[in-house]
Amino acid sequence: MSKERIFLSSPHMSGLEKDYIEDAFRTNWISPLGPHVSAFEQETADYVGVKGGVALNSGSSALHLALKLTGVEPGDVVFCSSLTFVASANPILYLGAEPVFIDSEPGSWNMCPDALRRAFENAVRLNKLPKAVVVVNIYGQSADFEKIKPLADQYNVPIIEDAAESFGAFYNNKPSGSFGDFSILSFNGNKMITTSGGGMLLSNNQKALEKARFWSTQAREPVLHYEHKEVGYNYRLSNILAGIGRGQLRVLTDRVEARRRVFERYRQELSPVSGIDFMPEMKNSRSSRWLTVMTLDPSTIKPSVNYLINQLSKEDIEARPAWKPLHLQPLFQKCLFFPHHTGDVAQSLFHKGICLPSGSNLTDAQQSKVLSIIHSVLKS
């Protein structure tokens, strides 16, 4: 067995990226903008089935600009999924607004429509509707937009779809990232595809995208001298990184297939063990299976999640607990939280969930090694 470290999710280059990078070098179009940026935006928007995109230096920047476009200001409220990475909610704080967290539902692990409804009813009572709802597609599976969208529409609140982990997934046969008024992708090194670091804001609202493009390039007024009326940001993606993105986009479908195969093998070999379960996939959903998440029922399985993670780590294998829900983070301790009607689902997933190495470049032998260590820990 190889001695090299097995990662949770590592970059997986196809080789096609080099052609685009060489083109950027040949034309000396290294940065800032250039033809690869607009092509990457258009190709990504076409894949997702929306009118346009703005390529940015991170998914977090994309969320920040999406929230700004929905008019979030200091003192405003923004609803957000609780079971997610902190990046989903940090930009709410950048804008001086206050997140209100919504629990997961057991069937998808994503935002619970019933808890969302209660949050809206409470907001009406307080006479303070949110400016936006950040709906996260966790671990690659789309949220249940069929139920979430009518609620947001009823209160006339825009949806920001955080598709950072679900690029390449489908819901009702439509690509993930096409359900929000604004959607965001991440091309961080551990995501479905990577530009080493980057992100994209997607929408059908071209005028709004134009505004985001303006903000992302220091809000420079279209005159010769440097004229500024608004605060801007340096958020644009460089031409060279967009080139890497174009190469990666061409293999996105393969990357999804590979991760789904990884998930399937773990599931086949481990789900016969009593007390082990896997993240469910809704009937109308085709997850990107960004990460394979397994749950250990503590009433049946003796080794704890942390013990298993540590044993894997001793063998140079990276595994992690499920996301610690944001409503349990010290950073957000004063924020409201609307739980599922049976109790705190996100918290229970955090306690029993474990993310296994899931990269599209994970070899069969590496996966066998992970599996054999898990089996031996479970037997101990």
Ligand X SMILES: *Cc1c(COP(=O)(O)O)cnc(C)c1O
Closest contact distance (angstroms) between CB of 28 and ligand X is 27
Beta bridge partners of 201: 54, 184
**Phi and psi of 203, rounded to 5°?**
-170, 165
Q: Provide the 3-class DSSP secondary structure of residue 182.
A: strand
Report how far residue 296's alpha carbon sits from residue 351's, in angstroms, rounded to the nearest whole number: 9
Half-sphere exposure at residue 152, Cβ-oriented, CA atoms within 13 angstroms: 26
CA angle, corner 281, sides to 179 and 159, nearest 5?
20
Output 288 or 366, the one with its CB closest to ligand X. Answer: 288
Side by side, the strands of the sheet bearing 285-286 are: 174-175, 170-171, 285-286
Residue 134's nearest CA partner among 93, 177, 71, 79 is: 79
Report how far residue 181's alpha carbon sits from residue 337's, in angstroms, rounded to the nearest whole number: 24
288-297 burial, b for 16+ CB within 10 Å, e for fewer? Answer: bbbbbbbbbe
Output 54 or 270, the one with its CB closest to ligand X. Answer: 54
Closest contact distance (angstroms) between CB of 354 and ligand X is 17
User: Do residues 137 and 109 make contact, with C-beta atoms less than 8 angstroms apart?
Assistant: no
Q: Provide the 3-class DSSP secondary structure of residue 376.
A: helix
Side by side, the strands of the sheet bearing 52-56 are: 52-56, 199-203, 182-186, 159-162, 132-136, 77-81, 98-102, 337-338
Closest contact distance (angstroms) between CB of 65 and ligand X is 12
Output 141 or 367, the one with its CB closest to ligand X. Answer: 141
Closest contact distance (angstroms) between CB of 61 and ligand X is 7
Residue 238's nearest CA partner among 13, 3, 21 is: 21
**Residue 126 Rama label (left phi>0; alpha psi -120 to 50; beta):** alpha
Output 61 or 270, the one with its CB closest to ligand X. Answer: 61
Which residue number has the CB closest to ligand X?
Answer: 59
Output 201 or 345, the one with its CB closest to ligand X. Answer: 201
Output 76 or 165, the one with its CB closest to ligand X. Answer: 165
- The binding site for ligand X (CB under 6 A) comprises 58-60, 84-85, 87-88, 136, 162, 164-165, 186, 188, 199
Closest contact distance (angstroms) between CB of 50 and ligand X is 18
Closest contact distance (angstroms) between CB of 9 and ligand X is 10
Closest contact distance (angstroms) between CB of 322 and ligand X is 12
Closest contact distance (angstroms) between CB of 110 and ligand X is 11
Closest contact distance (angstroms) between CB of 260 and ligand X is 18
Report how far residue 137's alpha carbon sits from residue 170's, in angstroms, rounded to the nearest whole number: 11
Output 320 or 369, the one with its CB closest to ligand X. Answer: 320
Report how far residue 169's alpha carbon sits from residue 359's, in angstroms, rounded to the nearest whole number: 15
Output 61 or 276, the one with its CB closest to ligand X. Answer: 61
Report how far residue 356's alpha carbon sits from residue 186's, in angstroms, rounded to the nearest whole number: 20
Output 59 or 158, the one with its CB closest to ligand X. Answer: 59
Output 304 or 329, the one with its CB closest to ligand X. Answer: 329
Closest contact distance (angstroms) between CB of 63 and ligand X is 6
